[in-house]
Structure 1
């Protein structure tokens, strides 16, 4: 019967080193397959498995050196380590959690797909559907925040939540950019929906661990959410006049130009404003 490394004796040490390695190989091979369905469906279990794999990988770095004195003369004179297993367990933990992230991204996009493309916000049913979709996205983010806080390391947790929030914002931006006609009422309602995401989305990052709670988390949101500034610029455009849009474009040197291409800004102007000479003059300045 297998003995724990702490109980290895000189006589059986040579014969026990390889069974120990085999146990780690079996652990890495069996757990992901046996619990495959649960690891895909339960975000909490995926986070725990991720941590377990990284914890094992960390200790495998020094396990051979830690018990080198008990491995007998033959192995003691050589380098008997488990370092070759470190990338295996790191990969297992990372792949499992990335797969769970893909599941969560798919659910976010599915919820936003029920928003009817944000195209007819002046219709009460369409606006209600879009409002419900945004609420469901925020609920999913907050639920994941509660599940993963206390399990994932803070840096991994913030990157994960930032990636998911970024997915939602990028999808909303993409849908609004495809709109060909945005009335004043539609623009106001789109702005309201976007404001919900701006107000409540960052709440997924708190509360952090005790040592992190005093950090100004809202200031760090752009670090973890690449589309954050683009989303804020889009909100400004939805409420801006032609001159304000040109001021933010600033001959392709302003904050609007940093987030959107000339063609995207032109499409927004065409959708938001009627075809007038002022609009034509503004379009000519977007280069």
Structure 2
């Protein structure tokens, strides 16, 4: 029977609940709750490719960006952006996807003025090409760009230090990572990217991947450092794991890559 209840919220993400039995229970709050009231965050989902799309905005200036949109949901996303009164500044990708066609090109036609964004090393067409340490600004917020190759040459992670969050694409998944057996993949490069650019972030930073296949929505730096069954291992062990995954040929790659090289419009 609950006799005493107190709640203390740390960074609007974790609440510690004290029971009469003096046992501490950590409860993760909804991932849409951010630290500043004028920061907007919305996580969207494509059930076919299990892709997460992220809409971020400044509620004061109404400027917004969208990360990893999917072509089939471009009208959904554009409708939401219009309904909420946002001005889409950038339609961004974490890398050149092989499992779906990006919605960036379609969003540009639906929301004139939006610009497409991708890592320069991807070799894909875009209005803006990013390199390591670049900044993407929208309203009063900014995303720091970290080059995190390994899954592909052009993979980047977007970090919002003000909110303590990062968008890792396929480089780091929840208890996993992107495959490295095609499209310029390198297990050694991916391992170094994660350990040098993501695992060096504070442990409490919340990480949002481009995909999840088990219904999980987010993780933290600390969790992945401790529990990731691949990336918590040594480099040598990680390479052996990746060499023995025996994954099937990506079913969408022959259609997705040519389209994504030209911003999803082909």
Tell me if TM exceeds 0.5. no
TM range (shorter): under 0.3
Task: Give the structure-1-normalised TM-score.
Answer: 0.26
Higher strand share: 2
- Higher radius of gyration, 1 or 2: 1
Task: Give the structure-2-normalised TM-score.
Answer: 0.28
